């Protein structure tokens, strides 16, 4: 791929030896608008995640990337230039220094990637005396050695606060070269060699994530591989992610004292902060394809907008219900004829009893009757307003026409979005949250809510409840959300794996009341909120973090020792609970969105788990503890990650989602905010993992095997992010995944 196919055309400045378009943007405080700042910050956030993921997943071969020092890079770039005088070399080196010798890039190395020149026969040149060859270009970006992977990208400003601080410091302490928007550059030599020494000898332009990915696609993927629809779609997702991340930065969240809030308000505020980061390190995690700007601001947690539930009526004999409503365990929903069961057909248990006041419930009943419907034959189900407007009329048009469901044209019940978007929190202190299908495209999947997921969720919950009885520490320290109250549309000729029914369902997720009301000073804290740089005022010395408030509550000095103490407590609680579950043959969802810490008077001693539909297991260990096989329902012919044949397969999720994503995201934030070496925090993580591995009552041989996997093997597994998206042929119901290997982080300490 040549220069002009990938990059924006460069305007040649014949008064310079080097073209520096956009390297030092000419702006003043008045000229630089907020939206421009946010676009630059959003783009660099995506660039950081993109490069780190591409490096980890091995997109570049060893002979493509060359690791150079700053001085080696400069010499490499000028070594090919010809016909230049000594003074020209000095000027070129000066310009190169402007992009390499900044305060952010001290001690950085550079990856140098040379895009091969096109071979051109001399006979095809119109004037071979003046043309040397078809020009090549290079891509360069800075990296530093890392623990979780060999090298990671060194970004430019990735928060609005840091960008503003650097901008307002100009020109007193910073020069223009300090204000670059990215550290990723494409560089090419001049296309001609003439006696005009004022012609640019080097052309340098910063790259966007989209431009970089296009070059990667062209140079690192085969022609056949590039034909996959996922390759083009991923570039589009990058564009959408930058756009929506820019929207997200327009939030109004600010620094404040969170402990003065009620327990439910505190929990929701942490959800808002968690939404700012979404899934850490995933380059397209913020993209919610299907939402326009107005929708995004209305339905994303960081904007704290009230959402009124829409209500529809569905024929009762076309609704599947959760076990909490049936008051029985259902082993096979496909064989269980729920339509003919008289007790279920007349069951008046309604979602609205959990979600609405008595007056509001009467309004729903009146709306059903106003439609000429019988409440014994129809049940009222809440629907996300976006889903009702954009999705149901399309996917369930026939069902609506034949009277399976009727729009009640009623909006009741105020909620707010959480960090998961499709799960909503009540604006009061109710423990009843609601999870609804929201058929936007995110993380490679459409966020609908199929009945089979709800069935597996209640079965996963049953396993976890049995596990609590097998371990007294778990019984004291682990809380579970109740996810057995749900309703799902199922037409008479439908099956659990059909597409249409999964767009219409509802699940009431009930939290332990004591945690929502804050009895005994408890507060719920999603671990994902700990990976977020919190917004602060412009004149603040640095960005904020939840640890600031935590240190105040504990009366700790703001220093490295205090940070290490608190991070150690997070790791201790996380490893103690999850290793005890692992000993029983279970591994819950370990990413930060579904792992919720219970914070009590400044101490982390307990956890809460939610979203039980992916509780993974190793059946032999499970059966040794007397815990029943949940008999998960899995679509025939599709991959299955719920049942794991070996303990090593099960602990994969602790290594990847638990450590490489969840805990490392916290390390990354703490290291950035408090200027602490990552290695120090990794040592704390390692020590807590070793301690809990010793404390949990594993059999001796099992403990030795786990120790070897975690601490002695040269390689760890790596959960792939980009490659599965590139290879994705359609729009499946779950996030596409894949595995590879990467260095063992503990062997780097």
Residue 151 has pLDDT above 50, yes or no: yes
CATH numbers and ranges of domains, the chain? 14-207 (no CATH), 307-515 (no CATH), 518-748 (1.10.510.40)
490-503 tens-digit pLDDT: 998 888 888 888 99
Least confident of 22-26, 258-262, 421-425, 485-489: 22-26
Least confident of 79-83, 290-294, 456-460, 609-613: 79-83
Give how far Cα 709 sits from Cα of 105, 346, 463, 697, 720, Å: 35, 54, 26, 18, 20
Residue 200 has pLDDT above 70, yes or no: no
Is the CA virtual torsion 493, 499, 504, 508 positive or negative?
positive
CB 149 within 8 A of CB 14: no
Model pTM? 0.91
More confident residue, 234 or 159: 234
Mean pLDDT of 197-205: 70
Task: State residue 165's pLDDT score.
Answer: 61
Task: State residue 492's pLDDT score.
Answer: 86
Give the confidence band of 18 by pLDDT, cuts at 50, 70, 90. Answer: low
Give the confidence band of 447 by pLDDT, cuts at 50, 70, 90. Answer: confident
From the number of C-beta atoms within 10 Å of its C-beta (0-12, 13-18, 19+), residue 163 rates as buried
Task: State residue 438's pLDDT score.
Answer: 94
CB 305 within 8 A of CB 746: no
Give the confidence band of 2 by pLDDT, cuts at 50, 70, 90. Answer: low
Task: State residue 178's pLDDT score.
Answer: 42
| Residue (of 125, 135, 138, 127) closest to 190 by Cα position | 135
Task: State residue 346's pLDDT score.
Answer: 46
* Beta strands 505-510; 378-383: pairing state: unpaired
Give the confidence band of 130 by pLDDT, cuts at 50, 70, 90. Answer: very low
CA distance 59 to 247: 30
Mean pLDDT of 205-233: 95
Give how far Cα 175 sits from Cα of 101, 103, 180, 344, 492, Å: 12, 11, 10, 73, 70
Residue 560 has pLDDT above 70, yes or no: yes
CA distance 16 to 82: 16
Give the confidence band of 76 by pLDDT, cuts at 50, 70, 90. Answer: confident
CA distance 252 to 264: 20
Residue 483 has pLDDT above 80, yes or no: yes
Task: State residue 79's pLDDT score.
Answer: 76
Mean pLDDT of 178-182: 64
Least confident of 235-244, 637-646, 706-715: 637-646
More confident residue, 181 or 18: 181
Q: Which range, 87-101, 321-335, 582-596, is most confident? A: 582-596
Residue 538 has pLDDT above 50, yes or no: yes
Tell me which residue has tokens 């063992």. Answer: 744
CB 620 within 8 A of CB 626: no
318-347 tens-digit pLDDT: 999 888 777 666 666 654 454 445 444 445
632-667 tens-digit pLDDT: 998 887 778 999 999 999 999 999 999 999 999 999
Residue 75 has pLDDT above 80, yes or no: yes
Task: State residue 37's pLDDT score.
Answer: 82
Residue 22 has pLDDT above 70, yes or no: no
Give the confidence band of 541 by pLDDT, cuts at 50, 70, 90. Answer: low
- DSSP annotation of 173 reads T
Give the confidence band of 118 by pLDDT, cuts at 50, 70, 90. Answer: low
Residue 514 has pLDDT above 60, yes or no: yes
CB 273 within 8 A of CB 378: no
Give the confidence band of 299 by pLDDT, cuts at 50, 70, 90. Answer: very high
Task: State residue 19's pLDDT score.
Answer: 52
Backbone angles phi, psi at 141, to 5 degrees: -155, 150
């Amino acid at each position: 791929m040549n220069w002009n196919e990938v990059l924006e055309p460069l305007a040649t400045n014949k008064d310079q030896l080097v073209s520096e378009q956009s390297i030092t943007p000419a702006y003043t405080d008045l000229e630089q608008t907020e939206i421009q700042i946010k676009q630059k910050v959003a783009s660099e956030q995506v660039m950081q995640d993109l490069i780190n993921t591409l490096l980890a997943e091995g997109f570049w071969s060893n002979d493509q990337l060359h690791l150079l020092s700053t001085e080696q890079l400069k010499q490499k770039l000028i070594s090919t230039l010809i016909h230049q005088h000594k003074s020209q070399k000095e000027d070129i080196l000066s310009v190169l220094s402007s992009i390499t010798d900044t305060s952010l890039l001290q001690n950085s190395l550079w990856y140098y990637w040379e895009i091969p020149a096109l071979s051109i026969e001399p006979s095809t040149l119109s004037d071979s005396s003046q043309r040397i060859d078809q020009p090549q270009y290079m891509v360069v970006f800075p990296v530093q050695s890392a623990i979780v992977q060999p090298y990671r990208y060194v970004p430019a400003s990735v928060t609005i606060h840091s960008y503003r601080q650097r901008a307002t410091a100009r020109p007193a302490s910073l020069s223009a070269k300090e204000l670059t928007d990215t550290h990723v550059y494409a560089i090419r030599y001049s296309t001609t060699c003439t006696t005009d020494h004022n012609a640019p000898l080097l052309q340098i332009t910063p790259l966007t994530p989209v431009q970089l990915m296009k070059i990667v696609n062209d140079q690192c993927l085969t022609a056949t591989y590039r034909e996959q629809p996922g390759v083009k779609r991923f570039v589009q997702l990058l564009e959408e992610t930058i756009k929506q991340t820019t929207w997200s930065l327009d939030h109004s969240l600010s620094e404040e004292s969170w402990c003065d809030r009620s327990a439910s308000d505190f929990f929701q505020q942490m959800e808002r902060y968690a939404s700012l980061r979404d899934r850490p390190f995933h380059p397209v995690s913020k993209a919610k394809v299907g939402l326009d700007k107005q929708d995004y601001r209305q339905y994303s947690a960081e904007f704290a907008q009230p959402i009124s539930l829409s209500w529809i009526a569905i024929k009762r004999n076309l609704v599947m219900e959760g076990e909490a409503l049936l008051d029985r365990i259902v082993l096979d929903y496909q064989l269980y004829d729920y339509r003919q069961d008289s007790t279920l057909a007349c069951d008046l248990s309604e979602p609205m009893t959990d979600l609405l006041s008595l007056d509001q419930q009467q309004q729903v009943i009146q709306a059903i009757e106003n439609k000429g419907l019988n409440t014994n034959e129809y049940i009222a189900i809440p629907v996300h307003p976006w889903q009702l407007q954009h999705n149901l009329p399309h996917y369930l048009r026939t069902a609506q026409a034949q009277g399976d469901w009727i729009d009640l044209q009623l909006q009741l019940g105020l909620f707010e979005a959480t960090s998961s978007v499709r799960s909503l929190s009540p604006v009061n202190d109710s423990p009843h949250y609601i999870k609804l299908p929201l058929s936007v495209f995110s993380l490679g999947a459409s966020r609908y809510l199929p009945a089979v997921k709800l069935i597996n969720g209640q079965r996963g919950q049953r396993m976890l409840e049995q596990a609590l009885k097998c371990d007294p520490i778990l019984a004291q320290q682990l809380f579970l959300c109740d996810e057995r109250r749900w309703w799902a549309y199922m037409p008479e000729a439908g099956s659990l794996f059909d597409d249409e029914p999964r767009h219409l369902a509802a699940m009431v997720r009930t939290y332990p009341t004591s945690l929502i009301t804050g009895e005994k000073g408890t507060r719920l804290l999603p671990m994902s909120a700990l990976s977020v740089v919190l917004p602060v005022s412009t004149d603040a010395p640095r960005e904020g973090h939840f640890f600031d408030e935590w240190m105040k509550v504990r009366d700790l000095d703001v220093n490295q020792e205090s940070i290490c103490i608190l991070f150690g407590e997070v790791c201790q609680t996380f490893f103690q609970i999850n290793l005890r579950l692992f000993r029983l043959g279970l591994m819950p969802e370990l990413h930060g969105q579904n792992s919720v810490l219970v914070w009590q008077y400044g101490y982390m001693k307990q956890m809460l788990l939610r979203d039980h539909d992916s509780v993974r297991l190793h059946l032999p260990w499970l059966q040794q503890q007397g815990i029943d096989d949940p008999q998960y329902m899995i679509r025939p012919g599709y991959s299955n990650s719920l049942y794991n044949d070996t303990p090593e397969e099960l602990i994969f999720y602790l290594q990847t989602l638990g450590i490489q994503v969840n805990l490392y995201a916290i390390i990354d934030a703490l290291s950035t905010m408090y200027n602490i070496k990552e290695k120090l925090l990794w040592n704390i993580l390692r020590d807590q993992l070793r301690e809990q591995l010793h404390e949990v009552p594993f059999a001796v041989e099992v403990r030795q095997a786990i120790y070897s996997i975690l601490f002695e093997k040269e390689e760890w597994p790596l959960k792939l992010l980009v490659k599965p998206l590139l290879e994705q042929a359609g729009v499946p119901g779950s996030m596409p995944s894949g595995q590879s290997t990467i260095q063992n982080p503990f062997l780097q300490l």
